[in-house]
Amino acid sequence: MAFSHKSVLLNETIEGLRIRPDGIYVDGTLGGGGHSYEIAARLNEKGRLIGIDQDEAAIEAAGIRLSEFGSKVTIVRSNYRNTKSVLSSLGITGIDGMMLDLGVSSYQLDTEERGFSYRFDTPLDMRMDQRQSLTAKNIVNEYSETELFHVIRDYGEDKFAKNIAKHIVKARETKAIETTGELNEIIRAAIPAKMRAEGGHPSKRTFQAIRIECNRELEVLKESLDELIGLLNPGGRLCIITFHSLEDRIVKTAFKRAENPCTCPPSFPVCVCGRTSLGRVVSGKPILPGEEELLENARSKSAKLRIFEKAGQE
């Protein structure tokens, strides 16, 4: 199956990066290379793009898609949390812009054997990097009821988290839960019929929660943002597209803290902590997809783009 993924908020992100033809840019979630293609197309022979992704299929697809740009583009199989060391290995200390698109690609959702989607009955997997050992099957069968409850409540924001966790633990006493189909049935049974009819697919939130836990998505984001801002050259921009409130909150908080890191009590007449602003949040409110994009691409519905600009250049 071809790696297909409609790039969300493409024009808004490219605009937000304010690409300099001779600049150095990083796409930390390369995917099929849609955003990267548009970045590379705007670079001259001095410009450089580094694409990072942990998914082997994405690396392969993007490599083909971006091949026309030759040595302008460097593709590395890694997680964006390792951006600093990836750049260091390439002799790069600062960048003019970086983007992250934190959504699961259409390819990952639509490839049955990856086990991301509740639409197919397939072995539970959900790993974005298939070199890692932890899978969704491990989480579902080995986490305690309390751990499952916390994962589903915190990452899926599902009000039936307690009941779903209880049903999972009860079901696996008889036999291990092997497939997405089996998990679907268990979740279905844990949610009252009236609620199942109302709120979209009953498994949506639990599958999201298990995927986030499996790939440590929120931890990686939280731990990486300060370092990524630190890699920006003066005037450089970091553009991040999120797809649910948990991610958006982490990005919003980190950007706000970078803009105003002062820890002095509000009652102090002047700042004495000595922490200075690293830059400014370009997007006061998050940038959302326009009507046309929403019609063309249903998966863009929950997308939000936030932009931070490093201080030091007008």
**pLDDT digits over 127-137, tens only?**
988 899 999 99
Distance CA 124, CA 177 (A): 8
Closest CA to 9 of 28, 33, 35, 27: 35
For the domain made up of 10-107+217-310, the CATH class stated in words is: alpha beta
Confidence at 1, pLDDT banded by 50, 70, 90: very low
Confidence at 13, pLDDT banded by 50, 70, 90: very high
Does this model's pTM top 0.85?
yes
Amino acid at 198: E
DSSP per-residue string spanning the chain: -----PPTTHHHHHHHHT--TT-EEEESS-TTSHHHHHHHTT--TT-EEEEEES-HHHHHHHHHHTGGGGGGEEEEES-GGGHHHHHHHTT---EEEEEEE-SPPHHHHH-GGG---TTS--B----SSTTSS--HHHHHHHS-HHHHHHHHHHHH--TTHHHHHHHHHHHHHHS---BHHHHHHHHHHHS-HHHHHHSS-TTHHHHHHHHHHHHTHHHHHHHHHHHHHHHEEEEEEEEEEE-SHHHHHHHHHHHHHHH----S-TT-SS--S-----EEES-SSPB---HHHHHH-GGGTT-EEEEEEESS--
**pLDDT digits over 206-220, tens only?**
999 999 999 999 999
CATH superfamily of the domain spanning 116-215 = Putative methyltransferase TM0872, insert domain (1.10.150.170)
- Residue 275, pLDDT score: 87
**pLDDT digits over 119-167, tens only?**
778 999 999 888 999 999 999 999 999 999 999 999 999 999 999 999 9
275-279: long-range contacts at Cβ-Cβ below 8 A with a sequence spacing of 24 or more?
277/311, 278/229, 278/310, 278/311, 279/229, 279/232, 279/308, 279/309, 279/310, 279/311, 279/312
Nearest 5°: the CA angle 272, 276, 277 is 140
Give the residues across from 73 on adjacent strands.
49
Residue with token string 């797809």:
243
**pLDDT digits over 222-262, tens only?**
999 999 999 999 999 999 999 989 999 999 999 999 999 88
In angstroms, the first-to-last Cα distance of the chain is: 45
Boundaries of every domain in the chain: 10-107+217-310, 116-215
Task: Return the structure tokens found at 295.
Answer: 């019609």
Q: Are 49 and 40 in contact (CB under 8 A)?
A: yes
Q: Indicate if the pLDDT at residue 56 is higher than 60.
A: yes
